[in-house]
């Protein structure tokens, strides 16, 4: 299904809701489950990548400067990265 999630009609559903296309979970916006978001103070970051390894959502990527940063489309705000970061780069802030 190459349509956006809110454009899929019942007629587009495969037999038995079978998923024929690999990787379509990437369309699924888990970011709107979040009540807190990670915020970064990269001056303390040692680029150890522990946050990326621990993130259960697999949504932390390296940015152009080599720092590890979440993708808010998927981040569920669980706070595991903030808890595991050895140098306390990450703090969880309430979403407005």
Partner 1 sequence: MAQRVGMEVSVAIGEMVKMADADVIAAYPITPQTHIVEHLAELVANGELDAEYIPVESEHSAMSACLGASAAGARTFTATAGQGLELMHEVLYVASSMRLPVVMAVVNRALSAPLSVWGDHSDAMACRDTGWIQIFTENGQEVVDNILCAFRIAEDNKVLLPIMVHLDGFHVSHVIEPIILPDQKEINPFLPVNNYPLPLNPSQPVAMGDFGPPFIYTETKWAQEMNLRKSLDTIVGVWQNFGDRFGRYYKPVEHYRSDDAEVLLLTMGSFSETAMTAIDKMRNEGRNVGLLKLRLWRPFPFNEIRKAVAKAKALIVLDRALSFGGLNGPVCSEIKAALYNQPDKPKIVSFVGGLGGRDITITDFENIVAWGIEITEKGSKNEFEIYGVRE
Residue 50: which of partner 1, ligand SF4, none does it interact with, CB under 5 to 8 A by kind?
ligand SF4
Rounded Cα distance between 96 and 43, Å, is 25
List the one residue out of 5, 56, 57, 48 whose CA is nearest residue 30.
57
Rounded Cα distance between 57 and 63, Å, is 17
CB of residue 34 to partner 1, shortest distance in Å: 15
Looking up tokens 């990670």 gives 38
Among 13, 87, 93, 95, binds ligand SF4 (CB under 6 A): 87
What residues from 21 to 60 belong to the interface with partner 1 (CB under 8 A)? 22, 28
Interacting residues toward ligand SF4 by CB under 6 A = 38, 45-51, 55, 57, 59-60, 68, 70, 75-81, 85, 87, 89-90
């Amino acid at each position: 299904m190459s349509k956006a999630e809110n454009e899929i009609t019942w007629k587009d559903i495969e037999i038995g809701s079978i998923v024929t296309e690999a990787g379509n979970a990437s369309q699924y916006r888990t970011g709107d489950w979040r009540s807190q978001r990670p915020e970064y103070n990269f001056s303390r970051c040692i680029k150890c990548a522990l946050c990326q390894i621990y993130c259960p959502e697999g949504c932390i990527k390296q940015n152009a400067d080599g720092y590890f940063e979440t993708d808010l489309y998927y981040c569920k705000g669980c706070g595991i990265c903030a808890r595991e970061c050895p140098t306390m780069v990450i703090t969880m802030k309430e979403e407005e």
